[in-house]
Chains A and B, each alone.
Chain A
Amino acid sequence: MTSITLDDIGLKDFTLQTLPRLKELRSQYFSRRPEICIERARYITKYLRYHDNASDSPEIRQAKKVSYFLHRKSAQFHDRNLIAGSTTSKALGAPLFPEFFALTLWPELETVSDRKKNPQKLTHEEATELNLDIFPFWMDKNVLELTRTRFSNPKCLQLFENLVFFIAAKAGCISHAVPAYSFMLEHGLSGMIAMAAEREEALAAATDKKERQQADFFRAVQISLQGIIAHATQLADEAEHLARVTNNSEDAAELIEMAAICRRVPAGPATTFREAINAIWICQVGIHAENINMAMSPGRLDQILYPYYRRDIAEGRLDIARAIELTGCLWLKIADNVTMVPEASEELFGGAGTVPAITIGGVDANGEDAVNDLTYIMLRVTELLTIRDPNVNARYDYEKNSSAYCRRLAEATLNTKSVPAFFNDKANITALTGQGETLEHARDYAVIGCVELASSGRDYPASSSIMMNLAAPLEMALFQGKRPITGEEQIGPVTPDPSELASFEDFWQVFKTQLDWLIEQAIQLNDYMGAVHQEMMPSPLLSALFIGPMDKGKDLIQGGALYNSSGATHIAFADVVDSLNAIEQTVFVEKKYTFNDLLEQVRNNFSGLEGEKVRLYLQNHTPKYGTEAPIARKNSRNLVQHLFNLYQSHTNYRGGPYRPSYWTMTNHAGLGGISGALPHGRKAGKVFSSGMTPVSGAAPELTACLNAVAELGGELVPGCWALNIKYTPEADVTTMSEYFAQTIEAYFRAGGQQVQFNIMTYKMLLDAKKHPENYPELMVRVSGYSAYFKDLNEMMKDELITRTQYGLTDGQAVPLPPLQ
């Protein structure tokens, strides 16, 4: 059921020149430097210090704490954006969440404003308040310390703190979710509060413990949502105040209209497109009062907002230019915050945005074409703004969506050089139905953060719970449970010396022993931290915006969602597969080297002429993931299959399964930097390959590469993957977008789940590294999200530079120029 009424789906008549407000806002956005905002930390600390009642249930304590903050959160209008509300008190703010890692800022309070890489401004007064008042309160109260105390500093926690094995993301966030906004728009928060009150009322006489908990949850929902309404009222008051003190009558009129909107929504049901957009944004602000700003993803906005758009257009209240302007205002609002990153974490996370994902296109619950005018409007806005956040993802069903749509996506990618990312509806819906989701629910999937999948508002997938460094268990398999970086310490089980193994199959078993042990450590820590979250960080506000908790009377953190799971993503997949291939080929098939030879070279980091000879041989003469070499295909399939089986056999603290995925943010650069040499000829300290992407230079043919990756897709990768492909830009965008679109469709038909692009050359990126001042707005795809090239650390820049660049006119890898 296609609902395209646009004459030109490219909307080429609408540019930043015809949309002066967006042009102005965009230029202000690029001129802003991040500032740390301490408002949230201040008010939740005050609440806990002076008002907290320890006998309240965890949900009610959380609700009161968040609502206390929302009642006091300052209302700011930083620019001429048409949408009211901001995540923080700063124009571009980094909020502090002392429940998590905010205290890592403590040693850097004096330096964070002026540090060389990505400084974040903090005033002297605010630094003092943090130092003397806020941080001391939290010293033993963050998730990490509570886990340490409650579970007596377990081994799994120590492994995590070592940072080189895996990352337990719950120490820093859960967030990573897509709420269900349609219900909120239809009923308004007041309507939802009334429903919660009714349910609480029905349980008033209950004495059963479970029912009491349910009543408490419904109470917590009301308190939280009232906090959002209180903040909307403050926004209205402030807008009216500003309208009175401005001399500009145009500004005043706009402010008065914004005030009226904030008094109507999100308390009441939305009646117009503009109200709906503003209601969603104020709810996003509310969600960020409760949950850290990491991948809180608004979801399928082209579907959610479409009824309001269509009605306004039909009734003449809205035209396309205004719809583009309002959508652009929302995009810029979503981009109004960054994460607080202490200097020590720059290596791992530097340059990342907060990755709120928006999903457009694809099919509807009935499996029919869901692309509408708003899909193209959102695509045009994404193309015109080309900003890091929101992370815009395009779903594509090659049978139901038109090829004109796919070509338009291709054209937008060629124009922006990097966005949107492409998601295959067929494969991703299969991945979710494989997790027991109904077909209708799976069809309503949206992307979370980088690439992860969730049925909109039904799925609480904590999709970034574990980030596993696969190179760690590989090294432990090579060195009997030890790793070069941790020296003589026995980390994993003592497995047999590889040089005594008779077959590759035996080594595969040894590798799995170490892998399974490490993953089980990570799972145990995740479940420990989950238990801590259940006590100290429930999410009644977010729960109210989900489908499930209001029926079950249960917070998301207690398993209130319809579908519950935990996500585990993997770093160094391609490097580990290639290492397995190299071992199998050279030690067991060709018998060119003994296992001892190989271990010796790895230990010595391939030093000397002999070492370099071996390294080049391993690099040039062993089967590679990203080609169709049978050994590489077998090992990649086996690894994906094994990880799937292992994770699915574990149940998390919310009663759901673990879901594997393959995206890496910037961790593949950071973890590569601290990992030793590997048997596929990678020297110590070199970056790993990103996400599901083959090792740079290992996959010389585009179609072979796409085929090799695609065949791994579907049920075995329920958390999806990030495949990075770099294309040489061509002058002829029209011809190129045709081949571009055809290539994506073939890759999707072969089973590929996701692909994202950088349309740039080695040369250009090398120049951007050398002269960052000439590329202030250069945006690149990292692994599932976008970043400004200049913000990335040096290792990550090198990783982007050396990624295989394919010519879209010949499908061959372009030779890498000599690097200075």
Chain B
Amino acid sequence: MNFRTFAAFVGPSVFMMLLFIAFPLVSVFKQSFYITQPVYETVEVETCTPGFLTQTCVIEQKSQPKLDEHGEVITQTEYVGLQSYRNVLEPERAWRAITEGNWSVLSTINFWKALRFTLTFTLITLPLVIGFGLGIAVLINNAARSIRGPVIFISLLPFIITPVIGALSINWLFRGDGILTALLEWWLNRDIALFAQAWTIEILMMFYRVWHVAPFAAVVFYAGLQTVNQDSLESAVIDGATRWQRMKYIVIPHLMPLIIFVSMIHLMDAYRVFEEIVGFSSQAYVISLQWLTFDFLVPDQAGNRSISRASASAMLTMIGIVLLLILPLRRTWRDHKGGH
């Protein structure tokens, strides 16, 4: 395939990605080194607001942005180098905490707190998703042919459900005296508050993620199981291999590409964990990297947003994900070259 044909085929797709992803990304990258802010002046302003019956007026010193002759806010943009990265990472505080061996202080610094949780979340759910996915796939494959269809259908439900709604329904089930908490309380015969400490929330969040993603892994693996070579399985039986050995030496190697595929997808998705934080309102105890970025980005009530820190934190998140993906990607490179 020559270059022109290739370009014609991939052109539209690449163009859309450039326009809507690469271009904003470049501007995010640039913004992480600059700070743009309005020029404020301090003026004395009388402000009157309603009381319940009468009005209250106060005269205050207020900072308000200067406007130019067109009524636009005057802004200044300044190159600050790595300052925004420093503001996110807080290296001095973190270093002091590390040298003093004081982990609890380190875990109160936002970025490190978020990194700790994001990594724990990603690395703990990864084997669980693969394990449960594989387990469910094998179970489905074991079941009678007539019930496979309905079982796959039910298995897919957690995966297709809208994430926002999924998180909400977990909330409805567990929050306060939600039905499942009530059930747990009745079973263990003690008062339980699942949203009152970090570790229970973390477990709930991981449980939710595994519940949500394992079906996807299961269906992919199930599809893979359909193409396992029956002859080699049979000859293994004749050679006296146990079930476990057959699984380990024939099935798993056959599924390896799929396991890597699911792992990669899961690494990417779990690393930008966000819905769980919002859905479980866990900000008090645990936060994630994407939540941190989002928090910098949403304007507060008075409209201020920390674009530069958000950009820096987004860039740091991206570096993290690239590091995580390097291993699986080396294989893809070999395949790509080997395939032609």
| A and B together in one complex | no
Name B residues whose Cβ lies closer than 8 Å to a Cβ of A. none
